[in-house]
Structure formats: structure tokens, C-alpha cells
Amino acid sequence: MTEDRLAPPYGVMLDRSKAVRFSFEGREYRGFAGDTIASALSANGVWLLSRSFKYHRPRGILSMNGDDGNCLVQIGPEPNVPADRQPISEGLRVTGQHYKGSLRRDRRRWIERFSRFLPVGFYYHAFFKPRGAWDFWEKRIRATAGLGRIGQAAPATEFDKAYAFADVAVVGGGGAGVAAAIEAAQAGSRVVLIERQQLLGGSLNHARFDPASRRGIDTAKALATEMDALGEHITVMSDAVCTGLFADNLLAVTSGNKLTKLRAGSVVLATGLIEQPAVFANNDLPGVMLGSAVQKLLWLYAVRPGRRAVVVASNSDGYGVALDLDDAGIAVEAVVDLRYTIAGDSLIREALDRGMRIIHGYAIERALPNSAGTHVAGIELRLRPGQESGPESRNLECDLICVSVGWAPAAGLVAQAGGEVAYDDTRCAFRIVSSPDGIVPAGAVRGEWDLDAAIADGRRAGRHAAAGGRHDSAIDEPTVTPESNPWPIFDSDKGKAFIDFDEDLTPHDIENSIAEGFDDIELVKRYSTVGMGPSQGRYSATNAVRLTQILNREPLGGAAGWTNRPPTEPEKFGLLAGRRFEPQRLTPMHHHHEAAGAPMMLAGDWLRPLYYGNDGESAVWREVTAVRENVGIIDVSTLGGIDIRGPDAAEFMNRMYTSEYSRQSVGRGRYALMCDVSGTVIDDGVACRFADDHFYVTTTTGGSTAVFRSMLWWNAQWRLDIDMSNVTGAYASVNIAGPKSRDLLAPLCPDIDLSPDGFPYMAVRRGRVADIPARILRVGFVGELGYEIHVPASRGAALWERLTAAGHPFDMCPFGVEAQRILRLEKGHIIVGQDTDGLTHPDEVCMTWSISERKPFFVGGRAIEMHRRRGVARILVGFTLPAATKILPEEYHLVVRGDEIIGRVTSIARSSTLGHPIGLAYVAPDQAEPGIEFTIKGPGGRLIRATVSELPFYDPQNLRQAT
Amino acid sequence: MAAMTDPTRFSRRSFVHARLARQGAVFRDIGDAAVADSFPGRNGLATRLALIDLSPLPRLGRKGRGALDALRAADIPVPPVNNMALYNSDGAIIARLADAEALILPDIELAGDTLDRFESSPERAGCYPVPRGDSHFWFVLCGTNAVACLQKLCGVDLGPRDFADLQIAQTSVARLSAIVIREDRADVPAFHLLADSASALYFWDVLCDAMDEFFGAPAGHAALRELSTRPPAENAG
């Protein structure tokens, strides 16, 4: 093995028995199972992992948390994979991203030289003059923008989602979170514990709490023993991130390619702290890391983070880092303590006892780069004003700068849930001020930083959450709070100091935003884009708020950050799309249509045959001819069906539909037109009266749910004595249409008199068809003698088979939606939704005949009266085109008169029966008389003259359908 | 072993019979239809995770303000609250869906007479038939992994603590409005799933996909029979 690793007990994440080969930037490396890309590369001495967003600066490990933007890499087609979170696997091919040339020698590095021309918000001011300049610049800017490349040829990947449930959800599996889970489970709660790392324990696994470095390990072991005893009462979701906390304690938890929607009775948020960077020149150089990142490299991955280190400290945690480095055999050049006074805790005493050099009174001037500019080679310090002893400037040689200057609570989920988070200037950090009922912050995120205090707080929170988590809005004061530097921002003209690594933002950018007038923190964020990158402000918000408040001359205490919104960490679109649930409805005869080679179309949720065979237009014409001259069969199971039963059924129908139904005879059908309260036509069908107290009303395909919902809504107010059942799926239906339909059906219906007198047009019957119980409607949508047969859905396929067999001697032809559209158009029947729109009222589509004048009320009646008083502005008419017309207008092409838009074409087809094109269109009332010509703006803007025609085009005396 | 039969011999068929046949089902006659009885080579699935189609079996729905009274008048027990079910003495499940709606599922071997008896009882005002045998498919998902499998499809907690035996949820499952009735069999979780018959094939495929993770698969009526123990008679109303 070429990599340099520390011996155990370092490297708790590693399985050293399993070597893993992978490549980075085309070169092969080896790591161990359990390594992340970043840990394995760093063990191999590779510290340059990516290039920065704007200036293409070299970047490497910052946090080892997997949630910053400094080490995003590309894996195959997937960009922006956090190298400090993604495990390596055998054969994994990893590349850097956002560079031109090579990662090491990025040819776009020159951009930084022009940084003074690229201040924050420059794109709001530049490139707009002279006219057309933006067109030129946009292409170039877009070519350099973005991070990584999405492989458009990427193979489809499975994404999954699931629901989960808990009495108590604990987010964060550090000491406080585990303690909370234990207490809640002991109280009888069903607990789900969510931890973003693979290993429970959080900082217990890598932080140093005592000189002997035992407390963390011992505490973790004790908690693990306690938890094991609780068995299945605690479900652990490790390597899982809670990205959102929504109303009623719905948590979005992502893990790999799976999204879990977890519903919890109450939620403990033990999300811990986020170590904050210091802002100084070149603070982004590879080799400048947060102290906690250094400890993770050591303890979790057995990686030496450097050979010679300088620790920049503002708290005792920095001394813990220094001691850890010392224990691992890494030279600690110095601890640069930024505080003016140093409290003497045990870690500091241990560092002093070991003879470590501790430097006071200095500020950071800059990190010094190596000759290639790709790694840190030293640190330059300058004497702070007011400090009298020591040289003005000091340079320390090192290849590692560890930054331990303070912490911010990982309070994003608390804020999402409606909690209040504000800056506390006595603690020099943000603090949770309140949280809603059911949301219980615990441990370090609440400010309890001492290990024992945090564990005790976790236990309290677990008990509290198990009891429901209700509390006063005020959060108790924490007993011990972490130490943070009040102003870890160091001005220097010797290099760029970054306040936000994601977007290459410096303090000057914040100043410029405020100078431009974007002075509120929310505006600063949007104008400067601070906090809008992959790390979402985790490593920039605290310093950005400090700077903004000071520049605005406003007090820091009580200052709020910007609004926290989900997701807390980047989510893949695949997770949001997840497992697809797209219900699709099939008629019971569907497999017969497929077997007959019918291409299918989507009609609402349904699949319907367009036509039968593979010869398109000629198939449609063949089907039309069969219906006109012989007999055809169409599957109309997709029509909606609603049973209305009860003593008030007729009254209900009267109110819901425009015609009068109280006088409708049993055994008769009647056209049913439905309007909404504004008088707009919304559906139509046939109302069949099977008994005094029973109507069966059909609806358009896809309309049944909305119609049924509307009926329920209205009768919730009317309280009529009826019952409604949407039986759409319960019936399979076919229409047998054509002059020979009666002859075909007669032998199949021994108990029904099919004679013209016995079963006249618009009559309805119940009986048996082909030995199957059926409801039969004599209707004429296609303008021929026809019977609509409705049978129980479970028998629909058998009905189709038996009718098809009976149809053989008649050369019966199945027909699809296309043929039906032409047939009904020849007959001048409208299709609601195609020939009507969201404003159409009945008089516009010549449905005046369907409106009863005798009823005191029906839905939309009053509005129709008002429409009539105002007069119609358009009328739907039939029109014809000359038979020789080669290119037809299309549906939705405009009807125009000069420059004025008058209406539109709603339906059009070549009629094989009539021998010329026919259609329906909205025209002005003065154009509606038969014989008048009007103009359609057809394909390519071509003006086409059409002639208004009487409706119906076919069989105007209704001799065929009523025969 | 059941005698093989062709489901298309009957005019009444399951909404997924063609898919079941393609998946290797062996059918047997039951009532006036054929049910998928077994899938050769698949044994013991029902205790782990199995999906069984009972759509060919009859079922009966009643709606209206007089629906529950009509049941009582026919000496059929009515659950005391909505969204609960109970057994009739012959093993039929009486499911109370609302104050004015009930569903009756026969025992899976059609040994009882509750459905016939109720259908032949005198009509009562305000009680209307609902064609549940045609409007809804009827599947059973059973096995120790059934709850976990349903968690991939349904936002309601169907675990035993919050969803007891014979409890009903009328909710969305894989975006379909469904009636879910829990009826554990010999301590093995089992869920009756009834929803729009036109969406049966969609739902069957979705469930088969969701079952993959738990090594579940379609099973036949025989698997459910084997699982089944008679419900205690004292549960009958």
C-alpha cells in the first residue's frame, strides 16, 4: 500500500482487510473499505480536489462533513458529489470538476486577475450595452458557469420512497441524540434515530474532551450498551439526512437513492454544531481545515492531515486538536490563540505541560501558498493593535492550518419548523430562542456543549418528547455554551479572504451589497448570493450576519439570520420524483384492443384505442364506412356512470342538469347538459330513468370524478333524500352502431323487444345481452341506429368476445376514437371540453333546446339568464371547405376578420361520407347564417375561406338514428 | 391439488386474470368464476410476503341512510363504529365504511351464506346496492413484511399498534383511493385491498414492484387458505 495511514485505534471507519481500488483524474489509487473519496485521496497525499466556482481557485477538504462546497467531484454522469461523504468502491472513477485543462493546471485560473471587474452583482450592471451585447456575452458566461456536467446519456437509475412512523423522531445520532432516543424508548415510545454519518456517536468518535482522550470513547460505549438493551424500540437510520421538517412533524429523510417520509409524534433535534471558519487571506487553500475535520481524518480514517501544523484557536477545542495531532506524531508548530484572555481548562494545561508553543496577541495576516499555489506552506501573523510585545509580523512554516475559532448551532430544522434562532452577543454565536410544540432541541445545538451537560440535556429532551414535547415557547438557558470568537474576520490586502467559499465571496462583496442598498440580511443574501451555494450558509451565515450588522451599524445581539427553507442539504431530483405512481385505467376489453393492434391514446386516466390496425387514416375511413353502411362496435367503458337513487332523485337531476327530469318517463333517456354556477358548460351525458327513484346518468370520459364531486358538494347543501354512487368503473360499455346493429343484437337479447316501437330512440332498458345482465341505451352519438350496452365490468371482456363472434356474419368492424370523432362531427354533436372552453355557455353552442324554462332553479340557470340579456358574442357553427382543399386548418386555428380575432376552429376532419372537409368553429353572431363565408388563419398563417353550414351535416332529418 | 381451469370459460373474470396467467397462475373454479389458486414452485410466500387476487369472489356493498338498519334487520351484525369490521358467524367480514355504507366480504372459501341471505332479504327504504364486485378489485397482501411493503405505498401507519386487526382505512395507496381492511391470519399480517377495478392492473404491478425488495411475489388462493385459521366464533356479533 502506498497510502500513509496511522495505526489503530485510528481509523475506526476503515476495514483494513479490504483494499479498494479507484481512480481520480485518471490515476489509480487504493484505499480501504469505509474510506470516503476525500479520506482515501488524502491518505495518498492528494489534497487538491476541486476548483472554486468563480475564480477557479484550488480547493480541498474543509469540514469532512460532506456538506460544504469545497470538495465536490464528478462521478460519471453525476456532478457535485461530496468527496468527503461519498464512499469509495472498487473501480470507482472520479474526476474533479469545474476546470479547463486539468484540475492541477486549470486554464481558467486567470479569471481571478480580473476580479476587480467582477464585483458581486456585476451581471446586474454589465453586458447590457450596447444593444445585443448580452447575446454575445451570455454564451460565454454560460460556458463557464455551473458546477460539473450532468451526463445526459446517464442510464436510468432506481429511486425509491417510503413512509415511516415514529412516536419520537430523533435527528442527530451524537451523544445527546442517542441519549434522547434511549430515554424516549424507555418511556415506551417507538423511536426512529436519524444519523447522517454511518457511525453513531457524532463528536464522541473524534473530538477530544479530556487530556487522556477517554471520555468520548467511554461515553459512546456506555450509550451503545444502553441502546442495545432497548432492541427494536429504536430504529436507527444511519447514513441518512433529514433534509426537511414540515407541518405536523413530517420529516423528509434521504439516504442514498431513497426518500423516507417520516411522520413523528414529536421530534428531538440533536443536530449538534457546525464549526465555523475564520476569514483571512487565502483561507481557502488546501491544507487549511477546520479543527474538527482534522480530528475526523485522524480518528475516523487514520489519515495524517499534514506533517507540520499550526492550530488557530479561540477555544479549548483548538487545544484538543493540537493534542490529537501531537499524539499522532504530527509536529505542532504553534497554537495561535486569538483570544485576549485564556481560561485555564484541562486541555490547555495539558498542551502547556507538553511544552507546546502558544502564541498570543497576533492576528492572521494570511495563509502562505506553496510554489504551485495549490497547498498551504505557512502562515503569516501580524501583531494585533495594542499588543506591545513581539515582532510586528511572524511567519510560521507549516503544511496544515487547523482552524478552531467557534461554532454555530445546526439549527436549520428548528428554524424550518417555526423556531426562532437569533444571534446572542454574549455567546458570540447564534442561539435557539424558541421552538414550537413537539419540536425539542437537545444537546449542543441548544448550547449545551460540555459533554456531560449535553448527554443530560439529551435525556431530558427524550423524556420530554416522549411526553408529547409540548413546552413553553421560551427555551431554557443552556448551562454551558461553546466558545466562539466574536470577530474571526481578518482584513488583509495580501490575498483574497473568503466569507463564503461556495460563491468565492469576500467581505468586500458584502460591503458592496450594502453600498448598493441591499442592506437587510435577506437582501444581502440575494444580491451577493452568500449562503446560496451548496453549503447553504452553514459555513458563511454567522460571519455574514456579523459583518452585515456591523456595516449597518446595528446591534448584533438579537439579529436573525436569513430564512431557512428545506432542503437543508442538496437533494437529487430523482429523490423528489421517486417511485412513480401514475394510475392508469384500463377497460376490461383492453387486452382485446391490444391484440387487434390498436394504438392507444390517453383520455384522462384511461387508455382508449385510436383505431384498429396499423394503416392510420385508411383504417379510420374504413371504420367510418363500416358504421355508416354496416355495423361497428366501440368500447365506451371510459364514459362515466353515476347512479342517483332515492325519493328525491328526479328533483336532484332537475337541479343539477339543465333539462327537466321530473317529467321523464321510466324507461326513457334524456340528454343531460351540466353547467357550473357561471353558466359554463362543464359536462354532458345521458340521463336514464330506470325507476321513479333511480336515474343512471352518464358523463364524459374523464368527467365523472369532477361531476360526482360537484353533485356531492351541492347535495351537502340541499340535503335531498338521495344516494349517489359513482359506478364508472363498475360498468363496461360498448356501442353497437350502424344500420345492421338491430339485426346483430336481436338474437342475443331474447328478453328485450328491440323493435322500433318496442325500443325506440332514446329509450333505455334492462335485460340480458349475450346472457350477461345489461343496461341498454338507445342513443345516437354517431348518428346511426345504435345501442349502448352497459354490463358489469367483470363481464366486459366476455361481452366483447360474444358480440364480436356474433358480429362475424355482419362483417362488424371495431372502431376507435378517431372514427367516432368524425362520425359525431358529421352528425354535428359537440364534445364538451373540445368544442367548449372555460367560458362557453349553452346558447353559444346552440344548446338552448336543452334548457328547461319551467324549472325554478338549476345550477347555472341564473347566470344563463344574465348571459342571454347581454347577448352572445360568438356562436359555434358548422362549416365546410371545398373538397379540393389540400391543407386543412387545425383545431385551435383562429377565425379572423381583418386584424380581429373572432373565434377558433374547435373540430375539423375530412368526411369520407360527405366527400369534403367539415368542422366546427366559433364565429361572430353576424357570421352564423348558413352560406356566409368566414376566414380561418390556417397553417403558416395561410388564410382559408370556409362556409357556414347547417347542422347536422349528416342525416338532418334524423332518419337513420331514429329508425 | 386444484384442477386446472381456464378463467375465460366464465363470463365473470378477475380484472387481472390475463396478467396472473402470464405469471404462471393455476386457476380453479370458485362460485361463478375462476380464481388463481397457486403458482407452481412458489411455496411459503404467504408468511413472508404474498399478493393474492380475490377479485373473482363475490362481495356486496350497500349505501344509503337505511343501509346499516337493513343489515341489522337481516340479522347481520354491524360494527359499532365506522372504519371497523367484524366477523359474521359464517366467517363473512362486515365492514362498516360510514354511517350509511357497509361492505360485506365472504369467507374466502365461500362456505357461508351471508351474502346470499342479505341479497334475498326484503328491500328497505334508503338502502341501495353498490356493485363492489365490479367497481373494486379485491387483493390480499399478507406476510410478515406486508406492513413494510405497504409503507412504500401508503402514508397511513398500518402497523399493528395503530392499525389493529379488523380496522379499516379508507385512504390513498399508490395514489388510488383504496379500502384497506386488516385481517391477520394465524398471527400473520394480512390486508384486504379494494380499489378501482379499472386500475387493477396498475395496482397489481405497483405492488409486485414494491414486493421485490422483500422477496415477495404473487401467490394463489391456496396460500391464503393454508394461512387461515377460523376466526373465533365469539367475535361474531
86-125 of B, contacting A, C-beta below 8 A: 100
B228 pLDDT more than 80:
no
A880 pLDDT more than 60:
yes
Determine contact, residues A315/A278, Cβ cutoff 8 Å.
Answer: no
pLDDT tens-digit readout, A665-705: 999 999 999 999 999 999 999 999 999 999 999 999 989 99
Q: Cβ separation of B134 and A793 shorter than 8 Å?
A: yes
| Widest CA span in chain A | 119
Q: Cβ separation of A163 and B64 shorter than 8 Å?
A: no
Selecting from B134, B154, B206 the residue whose C-beta is nearest the C-beta of A792 gives: B134
Chain B residues near residue A801 by CB distance under 8 angstroms: 8
pLDDT tens-digit readout, B30-65: 999 999 999 988 877 778 999 999 999 999 999 999
242-301 of A, contacting B, C-beta below 8 A: 261, 263
pLDDT band at A128 (very low <50, low <70, confident <90, very high): confident
Say what angle helices A451-466 and A175-186 make with each other, to 10 degrees: 30
* Residue A952: Cβ within 10 Å count: 18
pLDDT band at A120 (very low <50, low <70, confident <90, very high): confident
Q: A587 CB near a chain B CB, below 8 Å?
A: yes
- Residue position matching grid coordinates 480501504: A32
Q: Cβ separation of A793 and B33 shorter than 8 Å?
A: no
A892 pLDDT more than 90:
yes
Q: Give the residue on B whose Cα is nearest the Cα of A728.
A: B135
Q: Cβ separation of A725 and B162 shorter than 8 Å?
A: no
Provide mean pLDDT across the span A828-851: 96
Give the pLDDT score at A2.
Answer: 54
In 3D space, the residue among A263, A196, A160 whose CA is nearest the CA of residue A575 turns out to be A160
Mean pLDDT of the residues in chain A = 94
Mean pLDDT of the residues in chain B = 92
The rounded distance, in Å, linking the Cα atoms of A204 and A224 is 12
B2 pLDDT more than 70:
no
Q: A793 CB near a chain B CB, below 8 Å?
A: yes
pLDDT tens-digit readout, A254-283: 999 999 999 999 999 999 999 999 999 999
The CB-side HSE value for A877 (13 A sphere, CA atoms) comes to 26
The rounded distance, in Å, linking the Cα atoms of A766 and A750 is 12
pLDDT tens-digit readout, A922-933: 999 999 999 999
A1 pLDDT more than 50:
no
pLDDT tens-digit readout, A385-401: 877 778 999 999 999 99
ipTM above 0.85, yes or no: yes
pLDDT tens-digit readout, A341-388: 777 689 999 999 999 999 988 999 999 999 999 999 999 999 988 777
Q: Are strands A358-360 and A331-337 parallel, antiparallel or unpaired?
A: parallel
The torsion angles phi and psi of A123, rounded to 5 degrees, stand at -70, -15
Determine contact, residues A273/A409, Cβ cutoff 8 Å.
Answer: yes
Give the pLDDT score at B236.
Answer: 34
Give the pLDDT score at B156.
Answer: 96
pLDDT band at B110 (very low <50, low <70, confident <90, very high): very high
Q: A792 CB near a chain B CB, below 8 Å?
A: yes
Alpha-carbon distances, residue A823 vs A632, A862, A880, B8 (angstroms): 12, 34, 15, 33
Give the pLDDT score at B232.
Answer: 39
| Percentage of residues of chain A with pLDDT beyond 70 | 99
Provide mean pLDDT across the span B215-231: 84
Q: B197 CB near a chain A CB, below 8 Å?
A: yes
In 3D space, the residue among A846, A818, A838 whose CA is nearest the CA of residue A907 turns out to be A818
- How close A164 comes to chain B (CA, Å)? 7
Task: Kindly report whether the peptide bond that precedes residue A130 is cis, defined as omega within 30 degrees of 0.
Answer: yes
Say what angle helices A215-228 and A451-466 make with each other, to 10 degrees: 20
Q: Are strands A78-82 and A72-75 parallel, antiparallel or unpaired?
A: antiparallel
Determine contact, residues A777/A821, Cβ cutoff 8 Å.
Answer: no
SS3 A601: strand
* Residue A243: Cβ within 10 Å count: 20
- How close B42 comes to chain A (CA, Å)? 26
**What single letter denotes the amino acid at residue A659?**
S
Chain A residues near residue B30 by CB distance under 8 angstroms: none
pLDDT tens-digit readout, A624-647: 999 999 999 999 999 999 999 999
Please provide the size of chain B in residues: 237
pLDDT tens-digit readout, A198-233: 999 999 999 999 999 999 999 999 999 999 999 889
Selecting from A263, A727, A798 the residue whose C-beta is nearest the C-beta of B11 gives: A798
Q: Cβ separation of A795 and B11 shorter than 8 Å?
A: yes
C-alpha A277: how far from chain center:
32
pLDDT tens-digit readout, A129-152: 888 888 888 888 787 777 888 888
- How close A655 comes to chain B (CA, Å)? 20
- Residue position matching grid coordinates 386555428: A893
